[in-house]
Amino acid sequence: MTKNLFILILLAAFFMSCNNLQNKSTEAETDDQEITEELVMLSIADFDASAEKYVGKEVQIKGLVNHTCKHGGKRMFIIDEDTENTVKIEAGENIPSFDAKLEGSIVQVTGIINELIIDEAYLIEWEEEIKEEMAAQEEEAEEHKEGAEEEEGEEHAEGEEHAGGGGLGEKADQGEHVSGMEKIENYRKEIQESDKDYLAFYSIECISFEVIPEPEEN
């Protein structure tokens, strides 16, 4: 009886030990997966093809800075020199701006992939915004014209043409609206030619970045 009890205790200890080893192995695999996910390194050349799988996730990417936006410095573009593919990097909360001095440097960026979906609903909303802006500008131009006509006698005597002075700005605004409408039509054509009913554009919201020093020449 004592011998049988001793054997049962040994068997119980053996199974408990196996379970503990299995649990530790599972935990180790989970930790390895988390580390791998945190350190996903994408290439610029394959970015458009692989970005969809990592939307909303943290990734790393490295490339040559070929442009920083001069107005506010909130965006920069990195390029793959072999394929000339580019990726847009947007400044995150912790990044005040991208210095223009970064242009020409190799940087490694850590950030979150964002996705912009352009479909017919998006294009219709964009069209409506342009039409509203055009209507508001036309109304403003008409008010300006009426005011100019009231002062026409004095302006003519002084050789001034205030009504004509506002025309250049109005034409410039109209040009921007025409450009916007052309972009909308181009997007519609791209959607029709694609195998989906939308276009997807990907960018990276930068959490941090570091400049990679150039290798020293021997």
Over residues 71-89, mean pLDDT: 94
Under DSSP, the state recorded for 55 is B
User: Helix 167-193 to helix 120-150 angle, to the nearest 10 degrees?
Assistant: 170
Residue 44 phi/psi, 5-degree rounding, is -65, -40
Among 24-38, 58-72, 146-160, where is mean pLDDT lowest?
24-38
3-state helix, strand and coil shares in percent for the chain, rounded to the nearest 5: 55, 25, 20
pLDDT of residue 143: 73
Tell if the pTM clears 0.75, that is, is over it: no
Which of 65-69, 127-131, 146-150, 189-193 is the least confident region?
Answer: 146-150
